[in-house]
């Protein structure tokens, strides 16, 4: 078997990887992409401009406030190379990899699109020096459309598992799966991978998603609740999409405020659990955190913003996005990064 080769222009390296996530004003995009240490830049909604740099990704979720638009910047430690390999856009500093793929569903549907996207991602990753998935984001239209096992999210889970192949629960990445509201049947998947594996973190308040009972579909969701970065790296804790679920059951279907409080309790639990292995992580969300808040009902955005302002440290950067959570009774979901874990 041939040894996986590094990306063009990168020699194999043992340099300590580092990655910083931050929000910046959208009008700084040209300056961000001119920086050869920027691994990726994400724009949100219809105002995000077109740009053919492989590090730039337009996320199909509309921001829910009237503030000047923001972009999300991933800043690495080393010089970044980037390019395209068929449908896959990629960027790498030799220790970390950003990848993205978009697949039209066509007539075959979301299960087929997920299978194709994940099979292509797996094939792309197999030949690289950064084979370990740390974090994946999945965005698709109408995520809860359909009844029973024909619900689109359940079909996505089946296709994702088929495309990923054999699953090792001890190595599942952190992940988010969220529904867009743009009416386009197009699956967007982007990810962060590394030369060395991270450490998955589970939430003691919740059943691990990959162990959900059959009532949630024929294929359990394939992700960890959070991911600690590789040992020795300078990176934050990566928080999966988190909602008001305790055990495996949704909570507070009649109260947005209670759902937000339960979601924050789950995030606090994840941080506390991660700190047992990485005690240098801050004990609470703060200036070193960065959150994306997915809100199902556009009209609820002011209430969500007000409640988070009352509950969170004002230093926590956060972006509210119009999106559908993968269970109809859930009104909000939050993901993000936290602190700087240095093992």
* Alpha helices for the chain (secondary structure H): 29-34, 110-126, 152-164, 256-275, 301-311
Catalytic annotation present for 111: no
List the structure tokens of 335. 């993901």
Q: Which residue has the tokens 């889970």?
A: 157
**pLDDT tens digits, 265-312:** 999 999 999 999 999 999 999 999 999 999 999 999 999 999 999 999
Catalytic residue, chosen from 105, 151, 262, 333, is 333
Bridge partners, 332 (sequence order): 295
| Its pTM surpasses 0.85 | yes
Name every residue whose Cβ is closer than 8 Å to that of residue 163 and which is 6 or more positions away in sequence.
114, 115, 116, 117, 118, 119, 120, 121, 122
**Taking a C-beta distance cutoff of 8 angstroms, is the pair 240, 201 a contact?**
no
Cα(263)–Cα(335) distance, rounded to whole angstroms?
A: 10
SS3 264: helix
183-237 confidence digits (pLDDT tens): 999 999 999 999 999 999 999 999 999 999 999 999 999 999 999 999 999 999 9
CB distance 242 to 334 below 8 Å: yes
- DSSP state at residue 295: E
102-158: per-residue pLDDT in tens? 999 999 999 999 999 999 999 999 989 999 999 999 999 999 999 999 999 999 999
Domains (ranges, CATH) in the chain? Answer: 19-341 (3.30.1330.40)
Handedness of CA 263, 265, 266, 268 (dihedral sign): positive
Check if the beta carbon of residue 339 is closer than 8 Å to that of residue 311.
Answer: no
Half-sphere exposure of 252 (CA within 13 A, CB side): 15
- 126 φ/ψ sector (left φ>0, alpha ψ -120 to 50, else beta): alpha
């Amino acid at each position: 078997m041939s040894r996986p080769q590094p990306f063009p222009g990168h020699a194999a390296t043992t340099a300590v990887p580092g990655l910083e996530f931050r929000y910046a004003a959208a009008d700084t995009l040209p300056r961000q992409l001119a920086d050869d240490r920027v691994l990726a830049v994400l724009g949100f909604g219809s105002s995000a401009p077109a740009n053919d740099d492989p590090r730039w990704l337009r996320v199909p979720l509309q921001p829910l406030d009237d503030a000047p638009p923001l972009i999300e910047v991933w800043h690495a430690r080393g010089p970044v190379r980037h390019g395209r390999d068929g449908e896959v856009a990629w960027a790498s500093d030799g220790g970390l990899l950003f990848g993205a793929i978009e697949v039209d569903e066509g007539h075959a549907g979301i299960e087929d699109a997920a299978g194709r996207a994940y099979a292509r991602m797996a094939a792309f990753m197999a030949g690289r020096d950064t084979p370990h998935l740390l974090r994946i984001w999945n965005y698709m239209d109408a995520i809860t459309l359909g009844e029973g096992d024909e619900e689109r999210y359940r079909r996505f889970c089946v296709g994702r598992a088929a495309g990923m192949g054999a699953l090792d629960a001890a190595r599942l990445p952190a992940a988010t799966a969220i529904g867009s509201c743009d009416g386009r049947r197009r699956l967007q998947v982007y990810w962060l991978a590394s030369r060395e594996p991270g450490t998955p973190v589970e939430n003691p308040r919740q059943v691990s998603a990959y162990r959900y009972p059959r009532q949630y579909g024929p294929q359990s969701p394939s992700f960890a609740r959070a991911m600690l970065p590789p040992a020795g790296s300078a990176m934050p804790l990566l928080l999966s999409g988190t909602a008001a679920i305790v055990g495996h059951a949704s909570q507070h279907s009649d109260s947005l405020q209670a759902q937000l409080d339960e979601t924050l309790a789950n995030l606090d639990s994840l941080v506390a659990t991660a700190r047992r292995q990485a005690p240098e992580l801050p004990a609470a969300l703060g200036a070193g955190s960065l959150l994306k808040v997915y809100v199902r009902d556009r009209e609820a955005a002011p209430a969500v913003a007000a409640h988070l302002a009352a509950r969170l440290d004002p230093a926590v950067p956060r972006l509210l996005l119009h999106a559908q959570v993968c269970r109809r009774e859930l009104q909000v979901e939050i993901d993000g990064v936290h602190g700087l874990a240095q093992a």
